[in-house]
Structure 1
Amino acid sequence: MGRWVDYEVVFKTCPAPLLILTPDFVMVAANDAYLKVAKRTLQDVLGRYLFTVFPPNPHMPNDPETQGVEVLRASLEHAMATGQPDCMPMQRYDVEVVGRPGMFEERYWNTVNTPILGVGGAVEWIMLSIEDVTDFVRAMRRTPRAAHGKLAQRQGVDVDLYSSARELHILSEQLKQAQSQHREITSTLQEAIRRQRQLVFDVSHDLRNPITGLLTELEVALSEPAIDLQQILRNLLRDAERLNEIVADVLDLARVDSVPPGTELVDMGRLVAEELQRRIPAAGIHTRLDQGVVVRASRIRLARLLGNLLANAERHTSTTIEIIVTTRPSEAVLEVIDDGPGIPRADRERVFERLYRLEDARSRDPGGSGLGLPIARGIAQAYGGRLYAADHPAGARLVLRLPLYRPVHQAAT
């Protein structure tokens, strides 16, 4: 059986200078090696904010070559955000000469900031491990002239590791950012390709049903001369209309994914009233339409959005549909509410996925494409708005919010 390890003693006597911080950058522990190189006592650091005890170089705070505090803060925040150690570039931070107040000695440091994670994965502590590399920097600055004499002097050779390290750190950070952006772009492209492939597959499946119906009806008409042609034609017309609806939905998706058309001022209450006059309602409709609820968008697109919401409500409602147009601070709000079975909370986002349909929708309308709500949301987002399913005691409640148009003189007040 191994001996118990006294980690406090190990930490205290470790030859590497170590400092422990809270996530708020309050110092809670420092070993002897750290106190020695930092020229501080334990009482100087415990319980105190790191950047109060170690402010920017006090004798030259505005020197761009001595802004190690800002770099240190950025490194600590990066280590906390990623949960991974962060190696800082070499930094200059001068220390006060013992016994000579106001006199500072030039010092260079290498620092590694290591987050210490708790049981839940959150950062509980940060460990700073530092190394004084001043002697190394000074030696490297002297070496070229000593080794090459007058030739080195003529060529102006002066190895400045500090500046080089800063430049290398900047380039490294830029490379990390570029790699992160590349990963995001690649991920986005892969997701777009996956969605496009899934869309082609699902639309092809939906197109097959009416096409199969058309072929079957034509085969029957050709094989049975005495068949009722009127009934055959009605069936053919129904399947052709279904094909037309699917193609129209796919074209609308393509338009939504492209650049939005020109905009105009649209009164939402008037739009709803006019569109209802064009429809033959499949259920009782009650409206509460405020006046002067104006947005800047495409009237044609908003009419399509409203039509899709009404079609969805008609598909699910039992008796009535309620349409509300009102305003909230800086937003125009359109609500379409039905008294059907409602949308389960777990499916409130999924109904906006392309070609996703609830079981209730499939049973009530097997011919639905599952593209109506995704098209509606795409239109809302194209004009800086949002469309979502909200809570309601009975039935489904779909809410559209768009930026409310305000004339320039009103916005100024």
Structure 2
Amino acid sequence: MALLCVCATLLLLLAAPSPPLYGSAAVLAGFIGGSLLLIVATAFGTYWMMSTTLRPVRAISGKLATIRPSNLSERVPLPSHDDEFRELARATNQALERAQAAIQEQLRFASDTSHDLRNPLAAMRTEIEESLMRREETDWAETADRLLDSVERLQELVSNLLEISRLDAGVVGHHDFLNLGVLVAGELDHRQSKVRVVRRFSSGVMVNGERIGLTRLLNNLMDNAERHARSTVRVTVEHRGDAAVLEVYDDGNGVPPEQREIIFERFARLQEARAKDAGGSGLGLPIARQIAEDHGGTLTVEDSPSGARFVARFPRPTALGSPDR
């Protein structure tokens, strides 16, 4: 642009009429010089303003480049001015906090998993070593029965871990319009329960869900209820307001109010649960809750005169499928 102005000035000087268009060559030269000065000042001001404005972005990107999985506790600096860049920095720090919490959760999960895997493996190794040391005295059929218990525990734990991995990865199966009462009744017909199971189903309770996931939720609740029930488990399927409700109630000792959320933490097991079933993994109820939440519902422990009452609520679908599915 400056070169263009100089060329224009020379052309005007060479082709200027008499008398000069701008009165004199000095006036024209002053005009051109002022224009050049204004252009230079504008360019410099624009560069300085953009550099100052984007300085917080450079600070944020520079800090992000130094953050590694091992130091996710660090945060990007917040700009002094309350503007869009400060909002960007705040959102970035929130994302880092979520990433840090997720990694810490994964580390705890890996630690708890390795501990639960070691226990049955150690028991199996001890049983085998003792049997080999007393080969002639060992009842191999009885030893096999004890080893089978540990193998079943490992199998259940691995199955739960695979289910958790699937849920954490966000793997969603095919959802259909399902009759919840029909689904629950079919599963209960195939169970060999150690206690009496009382059913109370309403007709036409429909949900939009994944058959395998809902079946896993029901079985986990039933396993927990049968483990703690004295004699009876009641299963209810009905509509309550805008929700389709599945309720599993046992007549055991119940869950203290202050521990109703703890039991949904992974690998968390109350003292009573450990006494009743030393081989449990503490993953059944967390998996059941995650399945309910993946279906847009909830799973909670609610008040009851005695025992534990687990209530799963699912949103009623806007369109109903075939009632016999």
Aligned partner of 2:216 in structure 1 is 304
Alignment match, 1:215: 125
**1:42-82, CA deviations, whole angstroms, 9 ceiling, x for partnerless residues?**
xxxxxxxxxxxxxxxxxxxxxxxxxxxxxxxxxxxxxxxxx
> Alpha-carbon deviation of 1:220?
2.2
Alignment of 1:338-357 (within 5 A): 338-357=250-269
Give the Å deviation of 1:276: 0.6
Alignment of 1:268 with 2:180, yes or no, is yes
Code of the residue aligned with 1:241 in structure 2: it is E
Q: How does 1:196-275 map to 2 (within 5 A)?
A: 196-226=106-136, 227-258=138-169, 259-275=171-187
Give the aligned residue type for 2:254.
Answer: G
Q: CA–CA distance in 1 between the matches of 2:233 and 2:39?
A: 89
2:84 aligned residue: 174
Q: CA deviation at 1:149?
A: 5.7
Residue 264 of structure 1: how far off its partner (Å): 1.4
Local SS of the residue matching 1:287: strand
For residues 262 and 189 of structure 1, what CA distance do their matches in structure 2 show?
29
Does the 8 A contact of 2:245 with 2:311 survive in 1?
yes
More contact order relative to length (CA 8 Å, sep ≥ 6): 2
1:132-164 C-alpha deviation (Å, 9 max, x unpaired): xxxxxxxxxxxxxxxx9665667896x99xxx9
1:389 maps onto 2:301 in alignment: yes
Q: Matched residue of 2:230: which SS?
A: coil
* Residue 223 (structure 1) shift: 1.5
Whole-angstrom distance in 2 between the partners of 1:366 and 1:219: 22
Q: Which has the higher helix share?
A: 2
Cα distance in 2 for partners of 1:187, 1:333 equals: 35
1:189 aligns with 2:99: yes
Residue number among 295, 300, 317 corresponding to 1:405 in the alignment: 317
Look up the SS of the partner of 1:280 in the other structure.
coil
Q: Secondary structure at the match of 1:321?
A: strand
* Residue aligned with 2:83, SS: helix
Q: Which amino acid aligns with 1:307?
A: N
3-state DSSP class of the match of 2:212?
helix
Give the letter aligned to residue 205 of structure 1: H
Equivalent AA in structure 2 for residue 331 of structure 1: A
- 2:276 matches 1:364: yes
Partner of 1:292: 204
Q: Quote how far apart the aligned CAs of 1:285 are.
A: 1.1
Match status 1:379 vs 2:291: yes
Give the CA deviation at 1:221: 2.4
Corresponding residue SS for 1:355: coil
Residue 366 of structure 1: how far off its partner (Å): 0.9
List aligned pairs for 1:87-166, cutoff 5 A.
none
Aligned length: 257
Could you say what secondary structure the match of 1:346 adopts? helix
C-alpha displacement of 1:329: 2.7
How far apart are residue 299 of structure 1 and its match? 0.3
Q: Distance in 2 between matches of 1:334 and 1:408?
A: 18
Identity %: 40
Which is further off, 304-313 or 196-205? 196-205
Counterpart of 1:186, as a letter, is: L
The TM-score, its normalising length taken from structure 2, stands at: 0.73
Residue 408 of structure 1 and its aligned partner are, at CA, apart by 7.6
Deviations 1:366-409 (A, max 9, x none): 11100001101111111111111111121111111111123289
Distance 1:239 1:193 in 2: 30
Q: Would the alpha carbon gap of residues 224 and 177 (structure 1) be closer, same or farther in structure 2, given more than 3 Å must change?
A: same
- 2:140 and 2:40 map into 1 onto residues whose CA distance is 99
Structure 1 regions of 5+ residues with no counterpart?
1-147
Alignment partner of 1:334 out of 221, 229, 246: 246
Q: Which amino acid aligns with 2:180?
A: M
Q: Aligned equivalents of 2:196 and 2:123: distance in 1?
A: 33
For residue 260 of structure 1, give the secondary structure of its aligned residue in structure 2.
coil
| Cα-Cα RMSD | 2.6
TM-score between the two structures when normalised by the length of structure 1? 0.58
Partner secondary structure for residue 400 of structure 1: strand
Q: Secondary structure at the match of 2:174?
A: coil
